[in-house]
Amino acid sequence: MFNRILVVCTGNICRSPMGEGLLRKALSSNLDSQDKAVLSAGLSALVGYPADEQAQRLMIEHGVDISDHRARQIDIDIINWAELILVMEREQKLILELDYPSSRGKVFRMGKWGGFDVPDPYHQSNEMFELAFDLIAKGVSDWEIKLGEGAIK
């Protein structure tokens, strides 16, 4: 089982904070969740910025408060800290593995099990945020099942 999970997107203000919040919520129902830690970061983070207002609103509607989130830039320390890294898009996986060779083997797409990428809703409509949320929620659900089975392939 993975105890330290990192969720990554581009700016760390929309998708990865939503993924971080949903993963924390999912793992909190696990009996041994006190040993779990979930963080997020961005490949081109808007460092110090809070989560996008639309992302915060959607998360509150689903019982998760991400208002304390502040964007952070990915770096080698957080890469080394993470046991599992979940990205939103295929290209992000390639970028991480190229820029941080030590990440190879622990970077997967949030939508790995469903075969999908999560499109960036930044500066998009409410519908795009809802689509991103729904895909992230599906990815979190799939990962929760797979992590429970211990299946990473």
CATH number at residue 66: 3.40.50.2300
Catalytic residues, by residue number, are: 9, 15, 120
pLDDT above 90 for 90 = yes
Average pLDDT over residues 35-46: 93
pLDDT at 149 over 70: no
Q: Range with the lowest mean pLDDT among 1-5, 20-24, 64-68?
A: 1-5
pLDDT score, position 23: 95
pTM: 0.94
Q: Which of 45, 44, 92, 93 is nearest to 69 (CA)?
A: 45
Domain total of the chain: 1
Q: Which residue range forms the structural domain that includes residue 142?
A: 4-149
Residue-averaged pLDDT of the chain: 93
- Whether the predicted pLDDT of 32 surpasses 80: no
* Residue 128: Cβ-neighbour burial (10 angstroms; 0-12, 13-18, 19+): middle
The HSE-up count of residue 48 (CA atoms within 13 Å, CB side) is 0
**Residues 53-74, mean pLDDT to the nearest whole number:** 97
Tokens matching residue 147 = 């992590």
Whether the pLDDT of residue 146 is over 80: the answer is yes
Spatial separation of the C-alpha atoms in residues 56 and 76, rounded to whole Å: 28
- The pLDDT of 45-67, averaged and rounded, is 97
**Which residues, in sequence order, are bridge partners of residue 86?**
7, 108
